Amino acid sequence: MSAVSAEAPPAQMKPRQILQAMSGLMAGMFVAILAGTVVSNALPRIIADLGASQSSYTWVVTAELLAMTATVPLWGKLSDLFNQKLLLQLSLGLFVVGSLVAGFSHGVGLLIVSRVIQGIGAGGLTALAQVVMAAIIPPRDLGRYGGIFGAVFAVGTVAGPLVGGVLVDTDWLGWRWCFFIGVPFALAAIAILQRTLRLPTVRREVKIDWLGAFLIVAGVCALLIWTSLAGNQFDWASWQTAALTVTGAVLLLAAVFVESRAAEPVIPLTVFRNRTVTLATLASFFVGLAMFAGSVFLAQYFQVALGKSPTVAGLMSLPMIGGLLVSSTVAGQIISRTGRWKAFLIAGGVIMVAGLALLSMLDSETGFGVLSLYMVVLGVGVGMLMQNLVLAAQNDVPAHELGAATSTLSFFRSLGGTVGTSVLGAVLANRVADEMAKGLAGLPAGATGDAAGGASGGGHGAVPNVSTLPEPIKGVVEHAYGVATGDLFLMALPFAVIGLIAVLFIKEKPLKTTTALERMAEEEAAPPAGLAH
């Protein structure tokens, strides 16, 4: 058991003070999300300028996602042991270093290393922002501010490709500014947090489970590398698949063994004894899948099936971001006033399922008005679910496990997005190839070369430039991507239904009216038998 000494927690912050601190948190969170999405439209130009290969293209994306997803649980545990404000500023500092190295890179190797550094910093921001919010805001009031968090998440996810497209299309800026653009936000966030965030200095005698942390990170990385590269660098049924999946499974089983015996586990297995946390974690996985699939594959659909430029494609995503922004904000306000939250989770799950069902009807002829309605529906559903799942879990765990529980949800949401993007991308590539084979059957044999090149990028980034294709092939490519994208959302539908079922079994409990800092003080004052550790 750790010895803990800390100064008494401060009184609850006033709304104005909370908003000031939130501005720093949200600036940092925006930076973290932007880092993962802003390069999507710029990658073809980046890889061409650096003279890199298609495999390097994949790793520039995968490296950041791997580092972010794998380190989220470690950051969450560190937040239970060390000063959360200092950890936030450290993660922002790592992001600044990674961004500057990426922007000045003149080789793809250094660029990939910089993306790992960015990802580690982004993992800290993803885990810590919500932990700090819970520390200074009671669960009863968290919905009001959580809506802002959900809105920032949506803006960063959907606006990233738009910003990247604009920067690449602007001659006097270029792709390097896709990395530089986040630096001022990160530096501003560090300064704002230093001025506005007031957390007690906590000194603990701790023993970090470094072996458990290594096993978790290594096991997750093995599985994420598999889902990222399978179907692109090697077949799903191959020796590489067997090696990576067996390695990942063995490492994670070893992690479970080590964590069950550690004094200070990175992910306390006891947290999964809590039904709310377990069910919210399952639902978060599928929310991440829907959110990332909606942003990644719709952006590709706009550019290929509809023939839009990267900038226009980013603008066309605004209906989804609008739906998410409105629903997360309105739902948060109502939850804070009424204290009731489960109805919004159920409604969000139903609406998310409906949104995916509507988007499954897409093809290359779908009008933008109808498409906008479909995107709004999906955005509304994800907005109601995403942040309120975190709220439900944070409300139902002891304060000393708040960081671990929050980071677990963030980890599985990121994992859902990463796995969903990789697996659905591979499915998209195969579906596009099938549709194009049918469409090209009646065309001259010499036309198939360009078309095959367009199909090869399927979900892995190499989006064909339809404006350069001959008219007969252009029509085939647009039709193939339109039909395949619709089928993709249909395949995601059963997973969304599983997420909805998980939500249905979450038990609604009254929202607490004390902050995590106040709850921590109460737990420390309780008899030892009342402590989890």
3-state secondary structure of 8: coil
pTM of the model: 0.75
CB atoms within 10 A of CB 340: 13
Do 293 and 178 have their domain in common? no
User: Has residue 519 been placed in a domain?
Assistant: no
Owning domain of residue 259: 209-265
Do 119 and 218 have their domain in common? no
Do 287 and 423 have their domain in common? yes
Which of 131-140, 262-271, 291-300, 303-312 is the least confident region? 291-300
Write the DSSP string, 396-430.
TS-GGGHHHHHHHHHHHHHHHHHHHHHHHHHHHHH
Residue 320 has pLDDT above 80, yes or no: yes
**Number of structural domains, the chain?**
3
User: Has residue 40 been placed in a domain?
Assistant: yes
Which CATH number goes with the domain that contains 49?
1.20.1250.20
User: Has residue 392 been placed in a domain?
Assistant: yes
- 451 touches 436 (CB < 8 A): yes
Return d(Cα 95, Cα 139) in angstroms, integer: 29
Do 114 and 224 have their domain in common? no
The whole-number average pLDDT for the span 49-65 is 70
Q: From residue 133, how far is each of 191, 390, 402 by CA, in Å?
A: 18, 11, 11
The mean predicted confidence, pLDDT, of the chain is: 78
User: Has residue 214 been placed in a domain?
Assistant: yes
Classify residue 216 by burial, with Cβ atoms within 10 Å: 0-12, 13-18, 19+: buried
**Can you give the pLDDT at residue 444?**
58
CA-based radius of gyration for the chain: 23
Q: Band of the pLDDT at 527, cuts 50, 70, 90?
A: low
- 462 touches 43 (CB < 8 A): no
Q: Write out pLDDT tens, residues 507-522.
A: 888 888 777 777 777 7
Do 418 and 502 have their domain in common? yes
Residue 122 has pLDDT above 50, yes or no: yes
Return d(Cα 385, Cα 335) in angstroms, integer: 13
Return d(Cα 389, Cα 394) in angstroms, integer: 9
Name the residue with higher pLDDT: 526 or 500. Answer: 500
Residue 134 has pLDDT above 70, yes or no: yes
Which of 102-106, 477-481, 524-528 is the least confident region? 524-528
Name the residue with higher pLDDT: 143 or 123. Answer: 123
3-state secondary structure of 162: helix
- Looking at residue 44, its amino acid is P
User: Has residue 513 been placed in a domain?
Assistant: no
Do 373 and 439 have their domain in common? yes
Q: Which residue, chain included where needed, has tokens 């607490």?
A: 512
3-state secondary structure of 5: strand
Tokens of 157: 């996810």
Do 107 and 167 have their domain in common? yes
- Looking at residue 31, its amino acid is V
User: Has residue 470 been placed in a domain?
Assistant: yes
**Can you give the pLDDT at residue 41?**
66
Q: Write out pLDDT tens, residues 258-285.
A: 888 887 777 777 788 888 989 999 998 8
What is the tally of helices (H) and strands (E) in the chain? 19, 2
Q: Band of the pLDDT at 455, cuts 50, 70, 90?
A: very low
**Residue that terminates a domain, selected from 205, 223, 242:** 205
CB atoms within 10 A of CB 514: 16
Do 294 and 229 have their domain in common? no
Do 101 and 240 have their domain in common? no
**Can you give the pLDDT at residue 279?**
92
Do 234 and 334 have their domain in common? no
CB atoms within 10 A of CB 522: 13
Do 246 and 160 have their domain in common? no
